[in-house]
Amino acid sequence: MSPNAKRRPVCPSIVFCQRVVAYPDVLQFDLFRVFSGLGVPAVPLPITMFVVFSITDGEGLYRLDLSVEHDESESTFLKMDSSVDLRSPVVVHDQALQITFKAEQFGTYTVKPFADGSLIGQRTFSILPDRPPA
């Protein structure tokens, strides 16, 4: 890396959940109803959820973009942008972001965070049809 090059951060952790309680005074979160898949009665359906992620190994101000993509159709359903200021490469920045999008199809969805346009992580979740109890 050249002396003037900006470090590219990494996102080692992405978690999906239904509710987050933040404690800003101690920089902690409680996560409720963590999931890797959702059973829903039908699509299309609006989905509201939290994406909780950690970013580290960067230093300075970064443009942070987040997308949600449906893998089978290769459609992008949500793009959000913000910024993050990382103090040092050894600092871990945790963030909880509430997102809402319309799930048009069952299948696998991938959440992708980008820092200054570079992909820094990804995680999938599934939206499947509910099965009635047997």
Does 39 map to a domain? yes
Comparison of pLDDT for 133 and 64, the residue scoring more: 64
Q: Is the pLDDT score of 54 beyond 70?
A: yes
The DSSP secondary structure of 50-106, one letter per residue, reads EEEEEEES--EEEEEEEEEEETTTTEEEEEEEEEEEE--TT--EEEEEEEEEEE-SS
Q: What is the pLDDT of residues 56-99, one digit of tens each?
A: 999 999 999 999 999 999 888 778 888 999 999 999 999 999 99
Residues pairing with 39 in the sheet: 128
What is the value of pTM for the model shown? Answer: 0.89
- The per-residue pLDDT of the chain, averaged, comes to 91
Q: Is 2 a domain residue? A: no
C-alpha 1/C-alpha 119 separation (Å) is 18
Q: What CATH number is associated with residue 56? A: 2.60.40.1930
Is pLDDT above 80 for 14? yes
Is 108 among the domain residues?
yes
Residue 20 lies in a domain: yes
